[in-house]
Amino acid sequence: MRKVEKPWGHEIIWAETKDYVGKLLHIKAGHRLSLQYHEIKEETVYVLSGTLYIYDGDGNITKLTPGHRFHVQPHQIHRFGANESNVEIMEVSTPHLDDVVRLEDDYRR
């Protein structure tokens, strides 16, 4: 298990095999991840706490509250954010951790 600090919060990688990865993501209030897509990686997130804001490439926003899930397919443009409060989500994905194509980023990465 390992903790990875991010400018938007942190992630705890609690499972990592050749077939899948399990993460706990903590997004700080007022922060968001990159607007991105993945070439190969597929992931599903489950909201544990807070309200998760999901932005797509067309300017649409979906809000998810605890107990709801969201599936991301390869090439699907998405961005996760936490507006009014911290958000914790559980993510299970294919093991392609470096498969991130950033389209926009608040932290100039």
Token pair in block for residue 104: 């926009």
**pLDDT tens readout for residues 81-105:** 999 999 999 999 999 999 999 999 9
Identify the pLDDT of residue 8: 98
Mean pLDDT, residues 10-31: 98
At a CB cut-off of 8 Å and minimum separation 6, what does 60 contact?
none
63: its two tokens? 């809000």
Q: Residues 31, 8: contact at Cβ < 8 Å?
A: yes
Instruction: Give all domains of the chain, ordered by start, each with its CATH number.
Output: 2-104 (2.60.120.10)
Among 73, 75, 64, smallest CA distance to 27 is for 64
Q: What is the pLDDT of residues 30-82, one digit of tens each?
A: 999 999 999 999 999 999 999 999 999 899 999 999 999 999 999 999 999 99
Whose tokens are 């190969």? That residue is 40
